[in-house]
Amino acid sequence: MNETIDQGHLRTPPGRLFRKYLYSIVALAFAALAINTGFDVWFSYREQKQLLASTQREQAASAAIQIGQFIGQIENQIRWLSRLPPELSTNEDERLNAIRLLRLSPAIAEIAELDAQGREQVRVSRRVADRIGSKIDLSASPAFRGANESRTYYGPVYFFGDTEPFMTIAARGVGRGPNVIVAEVNLRFIWDLVAGIRVGNTGKAYVVDRMGLLIAHPDLWPALRRSDLSRHADVRAALDGVGPPSGGLVKEDLSGQRVLSTYATVPSLGWVVFVELPLTEAYAPIYASIGRSTFLLVVLLACAVLVSLFLSRRMTVPIQILTQGARRIGSGDLGLRLAIKTGDELEALGDQFNRMAAHLRESYATLERKVIERTSELEKARDHALAEHDAAERARNIAVQANETKSRFLAVVSHELRTPLNGVMGVLQLLDDGSLGEAQRRHLATAAASSETLIALVDAILEYARLEASAETLETRDFRLGQLIEAAADLMRPQAFDKGLTFDVASDATVNTSVHGDPVRLNRILLNLIGNAIKFTPRGGIGLKAVAEQNDDHVLLRITIRDTGIGIPPDMHERIFEDFVQADDSIARRFGGTGLGLAIARRLARLMHGELTVESTPGAGSTFTLQVPLGRAASGIAQGTVLPPSRRLSVLLVDDDPVNCEVGEAILNRLGHRPTIARNGASAIEFARDQVFDVILMDLHMPDMDGVEAASQIGKLGLPRMPRIIAVTADVSGSARERLAGSGIAKVVSKPILINALREAIEDDPWDAPAAPQLAADGLIDRHFLDDQRELLGPAQIEKLRHLLGETSARLIDDVAKAAAASDHAQLARSAHQLGSAASALGLVRLFDRCRDVELAAPAMSSPEYQNAARELAELQQASMRALDDLLQPAEQGSVS
């Protein structure tokens, strides 16, 4: 779409080039034609005018000649008469000659013959009677005198009877005493002559005499009116002898019509002949010529437009084809061929275009072929890589399988080793019933220690296998950090002393706190590190330093164990953390060990999101630093010796092995619970159906039905109160964990069963909501704390504290009650705080918690709530004090044994 739009933007508006060419050619043609026609018309106009004027001048001259001839003929006749010798004829003959002349010339109205003295001899007239020999003296007449003065006398024009123009012509004879012939000529005969002069179709010729008087005009009316034209400028000019303008004169004639006028003078008479042609007629040919030229111009222009159209189309069509071709090539249509057949450069351009498109097409084809080739090569390479990858994957799988097999082997072996060891350990524990002699007790202790060592070795292998299989998970709970470190140190101190080494423990005060983590793994790391230090230090000493940095959401434990041992070369600093590696083979021979210790320690540290590092100089000793982040404990809980359970539970122990069953039953009894034994899965399901159990301890590895299956079936029984099922197994892989979760098994206890681990697992009951009286009896006091305090302070001091707490708390309860009655929340809060503080000193946790709640909520409480709170605190104080008395009393009794 975008492409289309872009092309749309780029597209040349159609027809622009065409119009440009069209307008240019038309304009050019029009300009050429118009200029040509214009000049043509202009010159033609001028030539026509000149021609017209000259023609008219010739006509005027011709008319003047005709008039001159007319008069000249009469003059010749008169002259002929005058030159007849006098002696040739008598008067009568003279008259006859005159009569002949009258016949000859109708214009002559009268002829008189005078003798040399001016006396009239003969007068012949058309109108009056002829006179012969009248001898009238006419010597004073202008005609006689004029004839004597010049050869021929032309008198002025006069009008006979007011209307008839006449002129007197006189001529004198030759010889001595010549006669003078005087003729009166009727000029109206010139009218016919003038009317006969053709000037174009509507043109006129007229004659003006020497005075400017109109003598003859083809129109009767102006001639009859005896018009005086001397006032007209052209007539005036003509009479003054000025020639007519060469191009003729344009003026208005007598009737007001615009005419082209010219004139000519009649020789000897001095008359002027005017020839006038109306402009409409005179210029008609010019106008016709202009019209023709215009028409021709229009026709040529039309032709020019047509030719321009043709030429423009011829020029633009190929260009448009080229444009369209370029556009289509631009849009990818390379198969296009332009068909331009103009036989010129455009065709060559089109051919070049086609060749270009062909080249492009070939290039594209080549490109595509290469792309296909490259693609197939790439596919091959990819297939190859995939095959290699598959091979690598297979190899890895094989390796993984091998590793898993190794781990499984180790696990199975460990498990199979542990089962008899479990029996041994169990029996050894049971043997110590307090009735043994000193030697027996020592032997038993040795046996137990050997068993412990053997189990530790198996555990190390097993643990390593689990870590290797990433099957190890942390089992976290709250514990006292200082106790843990101290216990570890206490445990190892004898070994150090045995080797003559010093063992300094410097625990920072910050370590003495409760944290949440995996104490078992942490203990293992510590024992490993301390054990290593003791093992590889021939003389000198070992120093342990522990610091717990309190951070916002966790506690960062840093433990440094320094020794003055043989040290580790730098190139071995990292390798010692690898599997089965010791600093030197000789070391292994010298010091023994599996070489798994540090590898396990580091893996465990990392499992706890911590790190284990080493700094060492060979011969000068080593320093191992453990940094582990630990969570904060929910409450101060300490781990102690075996204590009575908070509640007596009914427990179903499921195990196929009789030894384990026996050990388990004994441990459960010791822990104060009621055990029931099932030797296989099926009987376990029956027991679960028939009896109510709080907890089922399920061995996972059984011949008929494994523990997971049995747990699932128990889950499906739809029991009204579902017992908690705790798995007992040595193999806790990831997949096993998932299976356990799916079958409703929430907890796992590892074999061999240790009393403490089992106790914690059984009593850690999230669903179990203890009844209030039980709470009052059992849940009111933190017994671990109390035990710690008792150990720390001594029974006497504790007793004193108990009395003090009883008095103080009673008084504070009174204060609380008073404050509640007075609705004094400040006092209530203060008293609650003091009560909580006092209660915490001896581990009265419920009372402490409640006090703290009341203290925090006091400002927002209402009066009834004060009363309730006060009453509640009073009850709790009494219950807690009774529970404290109960706890301290038997302990004092028990401590005797």
Binding site for another protein (CB under 8 A): 92, 95-96, 99-100, 102-103, 106, 125-130, 159-164, 186, 188-189, 220-221, 224-226
Name which of 107 and 649 has its Cβ closer to another protein.
107
- The minimum distance between CB 204 and another protein, in angstroms, equals 15
- Rounded Cα distance between 94 and 523, Å, is 195
Minimum distance of another protein from residue 224's CB (angstroms): 5
* Cβ nearer to another protein, comparing 40 with 130: 130
Structure token digits, residue 149: 């003065």
Element at 515 (helix H, strand E): strand 514-517
Which of 100, 716 has the CB closer to another protein? Answer: 100
Cα 170 → chain centroid: 123
Please count the residues of the chain: 897
Let me know: does 843 contact 790? Beta carbons within 8 Å.
Answer: no
Min separation Cβ 285 and another protein, Å: 25
Angle between helices 795-821 and 863-894 (to 10 degrees): 170
For the record, the structure tokens of 396 come out as 């890895």
Of 165 and 178, which CB lies nearer to another protein in the complex structure?
165
Residue 239 amino acid letter: L
Shortest Cβ distance from residue 205 to another protein (Å)? 18
- Reported as type and span, the H/E element at residue 847 is helix 845-857
Shortest reach from residue 169's CB to another protein, in Å? 18
Helix, strand or coil, per DSSP, at residue 258: strand
| First-last CA distance in the chain | 98
Q: Which two tokens stand for residue 145?
A: 């005198």
Residue 519 and residue 639 in contact, taking contact as beta carbons nearer than 8 Å = yes
Q: How far is the CB of 139 from another protein (least distance, A)?
A: 23
Q: Which is nearest to 835 in space by CA: 798, 880, 865, 790? A: 880
Nearer to another protein, 127 or 803 (CB): 127
> What's the min distance (Å) between Cβ of 63 and another protein?
21
CB-nearer residue toward another protein: 94 or 699: 94
* Min separation Cβ 159 and another protein, Å: 7
Can you read off the two tokens belonging to residue 279?
A: 């402009």
Q: Please list the residues that pair with 556 across neighbouring strands.
A: 549, 629
| Rg, the chain, Cα only | 79
The set of residues, in sequence order, having a beta carbon less than 8 Å from that of 153 and lying 6+ positions away, is 142, 143, 145, 146, 147, 168, 169, 170, 171
Beta strands in 690-809 (DSSP E): 695-699, 724-729, 745-750
CA dihedral 110, 115, 119, 125 (to 10 degrees): -10
| 162 vs 498, beta carbon nearer another protein | 162
Nearer to another protein, 92 or 383 (CB): 92
Going by the DSSP 8-state scheme, the letter that residue 513 receives in this structure is: S
Residue closer to another protein, measured from CB, 161 or 494: 161
Which residues, in sequence order, are bridge partners of residue 258?
252
Smaller CB separation from another protein, 132 or 284: 132
Residue 215 beta carbon to another protein: minimum distance, rounded to whole angstroms: 15
- What percent of the residues of the chain are helix, what percent strand, and what percent coil, each to the nearest 5? 55, 15, 25
CB of 127 to another protein, least distance (A): 6
